[in-house]
């Protein structure tokens, strides 16, 4: 009996020992599997870190490219700014050249008239171009001297007056306030000497006569005709100014502002442009 019990105990001990070894083996296997999983996760993490490093390198390269493009754009902007700064001087140079060309063309026209047998008029384009179109009273004070005597033309008008005498007589009538007579004289001059360099000036003074008579709509028609038919004439700036003043007198404020602004932008160096700027302020801030 005792031997049998001892045998049972021995068998039980062996079973327990075997069971303990199996549990230890199983625990080891689980730990090994966990280690392998951790190794795999660590490897994947390293791969992601390497990919992130590559992405960071690409991003840095893109940033450097953007910085280069920004610097290039800034350099181009500086070049554009420098070019814009030089525009006013170039514009002034072109205006000076245009003035010289206009003077040369007027001189050539006068020479051609002289060669054809027609004497030069007492009032040259340069002289009238500087008269203030907005102040006829000042013109009267400045222009009281009689025109200088000239040789008679080769083919006088039926009235017996030379082209110069017709023009000067009409202008004198304007200064005296005889506007109807002045318009007749300037109209006669334009009809008889359409190719004269002062034909556009005669049209301007017709508009001035109408303006002085407060016939503003008719004066605007005359100034428009001058602007359209004689765009290079020396009375263009004055015509724009008087047209704007006539529109203002008619109560057409918006149209007058457009004309004054156009005058100031197209002829910024003319005295009429300065007057137009003052009128713009008056109409904009009454």
Averaged pLDDT for residues 100-119: 54
36 within some domain: yes
Q: Is residue 173 part of a domain?
A: yes
Q: Please indicate, yes or no, whether the overall pTM of this predicted structure exceeds 0.85.
A: no
- 50 part of a folded domain: yes
Residues 31 and 55 in one domain: yes
Percent of the chain with pLDDT over 90: 36
| pLDDT score recorded for residue 143 | 41
Q: Per the domain annotation, does 2 fall within a domain? A: no
**Same-domain status, 135 and 249:** yes
Q: State which residues form the domain around 113.
A: 20-117
Tell me what pLDDT residue 89 has: 53
Look over the chain and give the mean of its residue pLDDT values, rounded to a whole number.
Answer: 75
Residues 125 and 263 in one domain: yes
Instruction: Give residue 173's pLDDT band: very low, low, confident or very high (50, 70, 90).
Output: very high
Q: How many independent structural domains does the chain possess?
A: 2
For the stretch 200-253, pLDDT in tens is: 999 999 999 999 999 999 999 999 999 999 988 899 999 999 999 999 999 999
Domain-embedded: residue 67: yes
Domain-located, residue 155:
no
Domain shared by 131 and 91, yes or no: no
pLDDT for residue 90 is more than 80: no
Could you tell me the pLDDT band of residue 285, with boundaries at 50, 70 and 90? confident
Higher pLDDT, 14 or 57: 57
Q: Is the pLDDT of residue 146 over 50?
A: no
Residues 248 and 273 in one domain: yes
SS (H, E, C) the chain: CHHHHHHHHHHHHHHHHHHHHHHHHHHHHHHHHHHHHHHHHHHHHHHHHHHHHHHHHHHHHHHHHHHHHHHHHHHHHHHHHHHHHHHHHHHHHHHHHHHHHHHHHHHHHHHHHHHCCCCCCCCCHHHHHCCCCCCHHHHHHHCCCCCCCCCCCCCCCCCCCCHHHHHHHHHHHHHHCCHHHHHHHHHHHHHHCCCCCCHHHHHHHHHHHHHHCCCHHHHHHHHHHHHHHCCCCCCHHHHHHHHHHHHHHCCCHHHHHHHHHHHHHHCCCCHHHHHHHHHHHHHHCC
Same domain assignment for residues 189 and 107:
no
Are residue 96 and residue 126 in the same domain, yes or no?
A: no
Asked if the structure places residue 12 within a domain, the reply is no
CATH number at residue 222: 1.25.40.10
């Amino acid at each position: 009996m005792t031997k049998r019990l001892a045998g049972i105990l021995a068998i039980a001990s062996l079973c327990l020992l075997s069971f303990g070894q199996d549990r230890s083996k199983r625990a080891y296997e689980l730990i090994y599997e966990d280690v392998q999983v951790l190794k795999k996760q660590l490897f994947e993490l390293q791969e992601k870190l390497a990919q992130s490093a590559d992405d960071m390198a690409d991003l840095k390269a893109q940033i450097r490219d953007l910085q280069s493009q920004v610097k290039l754009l800034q350099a181009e902007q500086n070049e554009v700014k420098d070019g814009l700064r030089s525009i006013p001087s170039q514009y002034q140079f072109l205006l000076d050249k245009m003035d010289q060309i206009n003077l040369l063309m007027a001189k050539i026209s006068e020479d051609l008239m002289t060669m054809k047998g027609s004497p030069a008029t007492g009032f040259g384009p340069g002289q009238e171009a500087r008269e203030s179109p907005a102040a006829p009273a000042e013109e009267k004070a400045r222009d009281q001297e009689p025109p200088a005597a000239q040789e008679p033309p080769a083919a006088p008008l039926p009235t017996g007056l030379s082209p110069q005498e017709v023009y000067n007589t009409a202008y004198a009538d304007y200064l005296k306030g005889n506007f109807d007579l002045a318009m007749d004289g300037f109209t006669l001059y334009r009809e008889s000497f359409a190719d004269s360099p002062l034909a556009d000036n005669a049209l301007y003074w017709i508009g001035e006569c109408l303006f002085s008579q407060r016939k503003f709509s008719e004066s605007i028609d005359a100034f428009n005709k001058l602007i359209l038919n004689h765009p290079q004439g020396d009375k263009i700036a004055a015509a724009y100014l008087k047209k704007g003043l006539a529109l203002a007198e008619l109560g057409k404020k918006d149209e007058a502002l457009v004309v004054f602004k156009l005058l100031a932008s197209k002829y910024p160096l003319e005295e009429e442009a300065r007057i137009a700027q003052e009128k713009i302020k008056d109409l904009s801030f009454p």
